[in-house]
């Protein structure tokens, strides 16, 4: 019976995904001759050429493309198995490494992660914040169990990941009591010319807010732009400007900051995703987060 050498197959798969032997060797931390030797050994065992020269690069042959598809399925399934086993309790606290896209409000993160912390099983959470693409790279190497983001992973991402929609929320506008009293009666018309603090222009919520302002025919005066939503809310509490936050965390914002709700809109929607390398979420803590998100966090019909 023919025995497939999975080390050889892994090296082939890495070369195919990285687009060349040099980049694959760097990723595998091996020398280029060593990787080339493994590819040749796999070709010899299969009796087929898997790569061919095309100018100064190598490309997959027709057989190579078939083998690459099967290798993708094999290693994706293996990764899912490892994720499942890693998520099982072994007597100590269940470990959960979460990456959070820097555009996601901290109060949203807290509400999403709280069910995992307060569950019956002991959970040790490690939370990292950063750029979504950097977090997805850590997800691919299994440094993270899940990434929470306000946007799904784009199709162009080289890592094979799955987007799990946690829920969506409308938007509430907040301001200090004096400004809120002035803006409330004619909301949203009252926003025309009003000072406002906004997320930076590279965020999806900023684009959604600007489209809504345009649709409503109002033009608030931008008094500040912030990359960090928590810093934006802190400034909103201490300044004479209004700001927006997801309606799903309206109660938390009112409790945490000395502000008043000015008005709400369901037209500006913020969506949140759990991104993982699994088609089906098997980590117990991640499953608790997604379940609570859909039944509790984003269940308020006002949002």
In the CATH hierarchy, which fold is given to the domain comprising 170-269? D-Maltodextrin-Binding Protein; domain 2 (3.40.190)
1 pLDDT band, cuts 50/70/90, is very low
Residue 180 in contact with residue 206, Cβ under 8 Å? no
Over residues 32-50, mean pLDDT? 90
Over residues 43-62, mean pLDDT? 89
What are 3's two structure tokens?
């025995």
Assigned architecture for domain 6-86? Orthogonal Bundle (1.10)
pLDDT at 114: 85
**Which letter, b or e, does each residue of 172-191 get, where b requires 16 or more Cβ atoms within 10 Å of its Cβ?**
bbbbbeebbeebeeebbebb
Segments of the chain assigned to CATH 3.40.190.10: 94-167+272-297, 170-269
301 pLDDT band, cuts 50/70/90, is very low
State how far the Cα of 21 lies from the Cα of 33, in Å rounded to an integer.
9
Q: Distances in Å between the alpha carbon of 47 and those of 1, 3, 44, 74, 127?
A: 15, 13, 5, 20, 48
> What CATH number matches the domain at 94-167+272-297, 3.40.190.10, 2.40.160.60, 3.20.20.140, 3.40.50.620?
3.40.190.10
Q: What are the residues facing 130 on neighbouring strands?
A: 101
């Amino acid at each position: 019976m023919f025995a497939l050498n999975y080390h050889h197959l892994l090296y082939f798969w890495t070369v195919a995904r990285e687009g060349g032997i040099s980049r694959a060797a760097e990723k595998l931390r091996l020398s280029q001759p060593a990787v080339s030797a493994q590819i040749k050994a796999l070709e010899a065992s299969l009796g087929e050429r898997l790569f061919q020269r095309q100018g100064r690069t190598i490309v997959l042959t027709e057989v190579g493309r078939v083998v690459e598809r099967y290798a993708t399925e094999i290693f994706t399934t293996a990764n899912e198995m490892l994720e499942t086993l890693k998520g099982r309790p072994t007597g100590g606290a269940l470990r959960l490494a979460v990456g959070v896209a820097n555009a996601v409000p901290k109060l949203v993160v807290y509400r999403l992660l709280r069910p995992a912390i307060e569950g019956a099983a002991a959970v040790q959470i490690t939370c990292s914040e950063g750029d979504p693409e950097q977090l997805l790279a850590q997800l691919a190497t299994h440094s993270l169990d899940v990434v929470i983001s306000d946007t799904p992973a784009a199709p162009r991402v080289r890592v094979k990941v799955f987007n799990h929609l946690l829920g969506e929320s409308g938007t509430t506008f907040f301001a200090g009591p004096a400004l809120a009293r002035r803006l409330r009666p004619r909301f949203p018309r009252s926003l025309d010319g009003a000072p406002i603090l906004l997320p930076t222009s590279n965020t999806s919520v900023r684009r959604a807010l600007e489209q809504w302002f345009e649709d409503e025919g109002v033009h608030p005066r931008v008094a500040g732009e912030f990359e960090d939503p928590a810093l934006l809310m802190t400034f909103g509490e201490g300044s004479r400007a209004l700001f927006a936050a997801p309606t799903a965390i309206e109660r938390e914002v009112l409790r945490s900051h000395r502000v008043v709700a000015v008005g709400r809109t369901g037209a500006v929607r913020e969506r949140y995703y759990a991104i993982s390398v699994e088609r089906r979420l098997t980590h117990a803590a991640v499953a608790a987060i997604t379940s609570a998100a859909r039944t509790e966090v984003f269940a308020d019909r006002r949002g």
